[in-house]
C-alpha cells in the first residue's frame, strides 16, 4: 500500500527485522518504539506529521483537520498529552491514527470511530502494529487460521469484535489504543442525546466540516451519485472540478448525476461498468484486510479514469445522519414491508442486521452443510453471532436504538471503499468530522432520519433537491416505497432502476465460477456475493502469507470452530 503506518514497540533494529525503512517517507525512533509512515499527502496542512522534542515524540498519520494555530500539530498534541494525558485525544478532528510517547508511556490511538483500523501481533520478541493487516501478519512465523472469522466473513461479509483471519492477529479496539503490553478503550464515542434544532445544527456543522477540507491540492473530484449524500459536498465545496458516477450511460442514476453536476457548474464523467467492476486481483482484495468483503470498492475497475489529485465522497452520511441501520416501523403486506413513521418498538436485532449485512445463511450448502456451526437453524446461528456484539454496545448508551447504530458503526462494512480511495488519491473523509460525530451522539435516534437530513440539505441550498433521486421521487420514504411496490406489480409500468450494477450478470459474464472455483462444483450454486466473499478470504490469506492456506471447501466448513465457544480475543 502507498499509505501505511507500521511500527514496533522496540528499537530500529527490531523494526528492520520485519520492514525496510526505505519503504517509508518518515521513520521515527523513540525510547520505546520505532514507527514508519508514508502518506500521499505527507507535508500538506491537515495531513501526517511528526515531532520529537524534550517532552517525547508524536506521530500523526492520516487526516487531522488543521487548527488555527501555526506550527506542528504533532508538537501541539504532544504538549497537550504531557499536560492532560488521554484527554488530549478528545480535541482531535479527523480520520487518523496517532502515536505518542511521553515519560515512558507509549501508545497508538485510533480516532473516535476507528475509521482507520490498526492491526497488531506479538511477533517473536516484540509487539508489531500497522494499518496493513497483511504486512503485520507476515511477521507471524506460522499463523493459525481463525475459523470463526472465516465463517463470519463468509456469511455476513464482516468479522465481528476485534478478530481477524488469523488467531494471532488482532485489531486495536473501537475508540481505543494499543500499548506494548495491552489495549484499552477511550470514551470519546458515547451517546448523550439532548434537545436542539437538529436539522439547523446539522446544516451548520456540514458547512463547517466541508469548509475545513476545501484546501487540498490539485484537481478535485467527487464520487457523485444521484442520491442525497454527495449533494451536501457538491453544494458547499466551491472548488470541485469534476463528479464521477458509476453506471451505464443513459441510465437514470447517470442522468440525474449529470444534471446535478451541471446545476453546480462542474464537469461530469460516467465510469462505465465493465468486467473489472468485480476485479478480484490480490492488489484489490488486499483492501478487504481479510475482515470485510471487497465488493464495496465500486470504483475499483475505473481508477485509470479518475483523473484527480484529491477525492471526496459521502461515505457514512447514511449511517451517521439518516439512520440507515435503525429499524423503521412498518407493516407486512404482499411480501413487502410498508414503512410507517417512527422506529420499531421491539426490533428483532439479529434478523434486522442479518438483512442489513447480507446474511444468506438459509442456503443448504452454505449453512446446513457445515457441521462446525453449532446451531439448529439459520436464525439461531445469526442470533448467536450478533446478539453478544449488540449487547456489548450498551457500555456507551442506554438506548437499544443507539446500541444498534453503534453496533453498525463498529463494523463499517464499506470501509474498503475509502481505504482504496485513500491509497490512490489524497482523500478527505467528511462524515467523521468531530462536529458531525457529536451531532450523531447528541441527536436522539428518532431524529436521525431522512426527514431531518432533507431539511438540513434544504438549509444548505433550497434548490438542492431540484432533481430527485430516480428511485426516490418523493421526499417521503413511505411514498417512495409504495410507488416502488406499485411499479413492480402493475403490468406495463417500469420498475425503478437499481442504482448499482447487476452483480449476478457481471459475475456470469466474466465466467468467474471457472476462474475462481474450478473443480468446486458445490460452490458454483451459491449466490455471487457469497462466492466473492470466499474468494476475498482465500486470496487475502494467500496474499498475506505467500502460500495457499485454505481452499473454498475449507472456507465453507472451517476446521476447529464451534460458534457457541464465544471466544473473545485477548492479549
The CATH number of the domain holding residue 131 is 3.60.20.10
Grid cell 528499537 — which residue?
Answer: 11
pLDDT value at position 507? 96
Neighbours of 408 (CB within 10 A): 19
Neighbours of 125 (CB within 10 A): 10
pLDDT value at position 501? 87
Tell me if residue 49 falls in helix, strand or coil: strand
pLDDT value at position 360? 77
Which pLDDT tens digit goes with each residue over 26-38? Answer: 999 999 999 999 9
**Structural domain contains residue 340:** no
pLDDT value at position 362? 61
Residues 6+ apart with CB under 8 A from 55: 78, 79, 82, 102
The residue segments making up the domain with residue 81 are 4-185
pLDDT value at position 378? 80
**Structural domain contains residue 174:** yes
**Structural domain contains residue 366:** no
- C-alpha angle 34-38-41 in degrees, rounded to nearest 5: 140
**Structural domain contains residue 220:** yes
What's the CA gap between 310 and 216, in Å, rounded? 7
Neighbours of 481 (CB within 10 A): 18
pLDDT band with cut points at 50, 70 and 90 for residue 338: low
pLDDT value at position 563? 38
Average pLDDT taken over every residue of the chain: 91
Domain boundary among 481, 501, 521: 501
Tell me if residue 447 falls in helix, strand or coil: helix
Domain boundary among 467, 501, 535: 501
> Mean pLDDT across the stretch 549-570?
60
Order of strands across the sheet with 34-38?
Answer: 26-29, 34-38, 4-8, 126-130, 119-123, 170-171
**Structural domain contains residue 333:** no
What are the residue ranges of helices labelled H in 357-501? Answer: 378-391, 400-411, 415-422, 434-442, 450-460, 477-489
Residues 6+ apart with CB under 8 A from 175: 110, 112, 113, 114, 185, 186, 187, 188, 189
Which pLDDT tens digit goes with each residue over 374-384? Answer: 666 788 889 99
pLDDT value at position 19? 94
> Mean pLDDT across the stretch 239-256?
95
Distance (Å) of CA 253 to CA 144, 238, 261, 385: 45, 23, 12, 36
pLDDT value at position 58? 97
pLDDT value at position 455? 97
Domain boundary among 164, 185, 206: 185
User: Are 153 and 298 contained in the same domain?
Assistant: no
Q: Which of 334-348, 437-451, 542-556 has the highest mean pLDDT?
A: 437-451
User: Are 126 and 72 contained in the same domain?
Assistant: yes
Beta strands in 241-297 (DSSP E): 242-246, 267-271
pTM attached to this predicted model:
0.93
pLDDT value at position 330? 73
User: Are 94 and 227 contained in the same domain?
Assistant: no
What's the CA gap between 63 and 95, in Å, rounded? 5
301-315 residues labelled b (16+ CB within 10 A) or e (exposed): bbbeebebebbbbbb
User: Are 239 and 272 contained in the same domain?
Assistant: yes
User: Are 305 and 438 contained in the same domain?
Assistant: yes
Which grid coordinates are listed for 185?
A: 478503550
pLDDT value at position 385? 92
Lowest mean pLDDT segment, chosen from 62-66, 299-303, 566-570 = 566-570
User: Are 32 and 133 contained in the same domain?
Assistant: yes
pLDDT value at position 333? 63
pLDDT reading at 567 higher than 50? no
- Please tell me what DSSP assigns to residue 242: E
**Structural domain contains residue 280:** yes
**Structural domain contains residue 260:** yes
CATH number of the domain where residue 252 is located: 3.40.50.620
**Structural domain contains residue 279:** yes
pLDDT band with cut points at 50, 70 and 90 for residue 571: very low
User: Are 181 and 271 contained in the same domain?
Assistant: no
Tell me if residue 310 falls in helix, strand or coil: strand
User: Are 28 and 132 contained in the same domain?
Assistant: yes
What percent of the chain clears pLDDT 70, i.e. is strictly above it? 92
> Mean pLDDT across the stretch 261-269?
98
> Mean pLDDT across the stretch 336-345?
79
What's the CA gap between 174 and 194, in Å, rounded? 24
- Please tell me what DSSP assigns to residue 542: H
User: Are 112 and 259 contained in the same domain?
Assistant: no
pLDDT value at position 103? 95
pLDDT band with cut points at 50, 70 and 90 for residue 286: very high
User: Are 273 and 420 contained in the same domain?
Assistant: yes
pLDDT value at position 371? 47
CB-hemisphere CA count at 13 Å for 144?
9
pLDDT band with cut points at 50, 70 and 90 for residue 515: very high
User: Are 158 and 246 contained in the same domain?
Assistant: no
> Mean pLDDT across the stretch 476-500?
72
Lowest mean pLDDT segment, chosen from 329-338, 437-446, 511-520 = 329-338
Domain count, the chain: 2
Which pLDDT tens digit goes with each residue over 349-359? Answer: 999 999 999 99
Which grid coordinates are listed for 546?
A: 505467500
User: Are 160 and 262 contained in the same domain?
Assistant: no
Amino acid at each position: 500500500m502507498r499509505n501505511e503506518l507500521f511500527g514496533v514497540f522496540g528499537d530500529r533494529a527490531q523494526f528492520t527485522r520485519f520492514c525496510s525503512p526505505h519503504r517509508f517517507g518518515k521513520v521515527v525512533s523513540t525510547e520505546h518504539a520505532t514507527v514508519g509512515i508514508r502518506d500521499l499527502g505527507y507535508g500538506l496542512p491537515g495531513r501526517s506529521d511528526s515531532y520529537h522534542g524534550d517532552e517525547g515524540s508524536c506521530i500523526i498519520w492520516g487526516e487531522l483537520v488543521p487548527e488555527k494555530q501555526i506550527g506542528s500539530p504533532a508538537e501541539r498534541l504532544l504538549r497537550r498529552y504531557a499536560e492532560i494525558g488521554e484527554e488530549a485525544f478528545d480535541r482531535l478532528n479527523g480520520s487518523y491514527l496517532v502515536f505518542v510517547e511521553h515519560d515512558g508511556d507509549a501508545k497508538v490511538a485510533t480516532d473516535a470511530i476507528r475509521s482507520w483500523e490498526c492491526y497488531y501481533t506479538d511477533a517473536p520478541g516484540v509487539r508489531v502494529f500497522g494499518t496493513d493487516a497483511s504486512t503485520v501478519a507476515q511477521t507471524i512465523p506460522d499463523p493459525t487460521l481463525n475459523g470463526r472469522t472465516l465463517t463470519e466473513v463468509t456469511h455476513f461479509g464482516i468479522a465481528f469484535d476485534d478478530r481477524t483471519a488469523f488467531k494471532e492477529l488482532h485489531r486495536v479496539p473501537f475508540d481505543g489504543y494499543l500499548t506494548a503490553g495491552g489495549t484499552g478503550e477511550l470514551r470519546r464515542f458515547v451517546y448523550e442525546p439532548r434537545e436542539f434544532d437538529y436539522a439547523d445544527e446539522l446544516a451548520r456543522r456540514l458547512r463547517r466540516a466541508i469548509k475545513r477540507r476545501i484546501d487540498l491540492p490539485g484537481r478535485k473530484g467527487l464520487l457523485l451519485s444521484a442520491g442525497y449524500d454527495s449533494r451536501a459536498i457538491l453544494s458547499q465545496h466551491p472548488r470541485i472540478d469534476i463528479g464521477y458516477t458509476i453506471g451505464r450511460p443513459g441510465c437514470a442514476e447517470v442522468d440525474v448525476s449529470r444534471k446535478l453536476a451541471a446545476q453546480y457548474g462542474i464537469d461530469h464523467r460516467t465510469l462505465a461498468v465493465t468486467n473489472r467492476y468485480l476485479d478480484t486481483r490480490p492488489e484489490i482484495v488486499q483492501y478487504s484486510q481479510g475482515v470485510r468483503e471487497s465488493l464495496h470498492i465500486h470504483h475499483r475497475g475505473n481508477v485509470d479514469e479518475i483523473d484527480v489529485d484529491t477525492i471526496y465522497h459521502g461515505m457514512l452520511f447514511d449511517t451517521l445522519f439518516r439512520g440507515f441501520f435503525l429499524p423503521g416501523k412498518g407493516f407486512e403486506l404482499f411480501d413487502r414491508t410498508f414503512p410507517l413513521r417512527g422506529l420499531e418498538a421491539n426490533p428483532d436485532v439479529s434478523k434486522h442486521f442479518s438483512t442489513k449485512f447480507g446474511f444468506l445463511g438459509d442456503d443448504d450448502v452454505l449453512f446446513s452443510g457445515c457441521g462446525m456451526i453449532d446451531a439448529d437453524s439459520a436464525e439461531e446461528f445469526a442470533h448467536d453471532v450478533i446478539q453478544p456484539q449488540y449487547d456489548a454496545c450498551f457500555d456507551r448508551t442506554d438506548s437499544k436504538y443507539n446500541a444498534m447504530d453503534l453496533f453498525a458503526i463498529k463494523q463499517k462494512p464499506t470501509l474498503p471503499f475509502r481505504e482504496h480511495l485513500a491509497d490512490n488519491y489524497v482523500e478527505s473523509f467528511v462524515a467523521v468530522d468531530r462536529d458531525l460525530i457529536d451531532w450523531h451522539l447528541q441527536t436522539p435516534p428518532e431524529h436521525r432520519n431522512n426527514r431531518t437530513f432533507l431539511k438540513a440539505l434544504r438549509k444548505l441550498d433550497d434548490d438542492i433537491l431540484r432533481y430527485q433521486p430516480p428511485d426516490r421521487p418523493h421526499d417521503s420514504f413511505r411514498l417512495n416505497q409504495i410507488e416502488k411496490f406499485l411499479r413492480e406489480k402493475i403490468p406495463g409500468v417500469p420498475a425503478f432502476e437499481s442504482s448499482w450494477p447487476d452483480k449476478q450478470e457481471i459475475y456470469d459474464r466474466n465466467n468467474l465460477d471457472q476462474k475462481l472455483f474450478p473443480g468446486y462444483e458445490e460452490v458454483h450454486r451459491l449466490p455471487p456475493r457469497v462466492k466473492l466473499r470466499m474468494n476475498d478470504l482465500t486470496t487475502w490469506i494467500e496474499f498475506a502469507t505467500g502460500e495457499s492456506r485454505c481452499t473454498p471447501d475449507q472456507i465453507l466448513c472451517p476446521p476447529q470452530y464451534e460458534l457457541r465457544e464465544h471466544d473473545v480475543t485477548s492479549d
